[in-house]
Amino acid sequence: MTTAARRVLVHPSAEVLANAVAARLVTALADAQAERGEAHVVLTGGTIGTRALAALAQSPAREAVDWSRVHVWWGDERHLPAGDADRNCTQAEEALLRHLPLREENVHLPPAADGAGPDVDAAARAYAGELAAAAGGDGVPDFDVLLLGVGPDGHVASLFPGQEFVHEAQRTVVGVPDSPKPPPARISLTLPAIGRARQVWLVAAGAEKAEAVAAGLAGADVGSIPAAGAAGREATLWLLDEAAASRHSG
């Protein structure tokens, strides 16, 4: 990854940003299918990430994608019972997935606490196993697009500042038992797994994200600002509204 492949795009409002992310996702998935037959997308939770999914549900352009050949993954998940309203996959289902003709076996739901049990490490191993199987036995698939929200503290997925999981170098998925943001039990892709994506899109809206965005773009230490360590193999896009971009000087 070189800085030449990094782009910062600033949109006038959160609403425009959500619609722009939705439009960009349609194009990227259609392009991936044209080139490789199927597409793998990794979804994020969070406010603007979920709003982008809702915008996609409203967009007639979504018909440009053959959703039966799209695999859906999650960058992180709150380890709660299936169907819990705080699970990222529940929110994605509500905002978008139920509107699409996806194949059930291509929607790679993270394990739920009522099925897999309360052990976040066991859940992380199970999800890592599903990723590895889809990748042909090891690692993670070649994700086409991996979406990440950015927390006000600079967290991405469930990799939080000051936690050892930010520095994980071997595993593709970690169990996070003590997230500083509720709920505490989560699983998360690691930075090396995130870095396997062709394109990583960091999406942020709102003034409360401005400091973290500026620090991430300035190349802060990943232990302090995990977002600074998220980069795609071919491109890294920071997709922002004006408020989130307001402290970035570039």
Ligand X SMILES: O=C1O[C@H](COP(=O)(O)O)[C@@H](O)[C@H](O)[C@H]1O
Minimum CB–partner distance for residue 27 and ligand X (Å): 22
In the bound state with ligand X, the residue whose beta carbon lies nearer, of 17 and 65, is 17
Minimum CB–partner distance for residue 63 and ligand X (Å): 27
Note the residue count of the chain. 250
Minimum CB–partner distance for residue 250 and ligand X (Å): 22
Minimum CB–partner distance for residue 88 and ligand X (Å): 5
In the bound state with ligand X, the residue whose beta carbon lies nearer, of 24 and 155, is 155
Query: What is the distance between the alpha carbons of residues 177 and 165, in angstroms, rounded to a whole number?
Result: 11
Minimum CB–partner distance for residue 186 and ligand X (Å): 7
The helix/strand/coil state of 157 is: coil
In the bound state with ligand X, the residue whose beta carbon lies nearer, of 76 and 144, is 76
In the bound state with ligand X, the residue whose beta carbon lies nearer, of 110 and 141, is 110
Nearest of 39, 7, 33 to residue 20 by alpha carbon: 7
In the bound state with ligand X, the residue whose beta carbon lies nearer, of 88 and 236, is 88
Query: What is the distance between the alpha carbons of residues 152 and 119, in angstroms, rounded to a whole number?
Result: 28
Minimum CB–partner distance for residue 128 and ligand X (Å): 18
Using CB under 6 A as the criterion, which residues of the chain lie in contact with ligand X when the complex forms? 44-49, 76, 88, 148-149, 151, 157-158, 181
Bond preceding residue 141 cis, omega within 30 of 0: no
Q: Is-contact 78 87, C-beta < 8 A? A: yes
In the bound state with ligand X, the residue whose beta carbon lies nearer, of 126 and 146, is 146
- 250's CB contacts (< 8 A; 6+ apart) are 8, 217
Edge-to-edge strand order for the sheet containing 173-176? 76-78, 186-189, 173-176
Query: What is the distance between the alpha carbons of residues 55 and 18, in angstroms, rounded to a whole number?
Result: 6
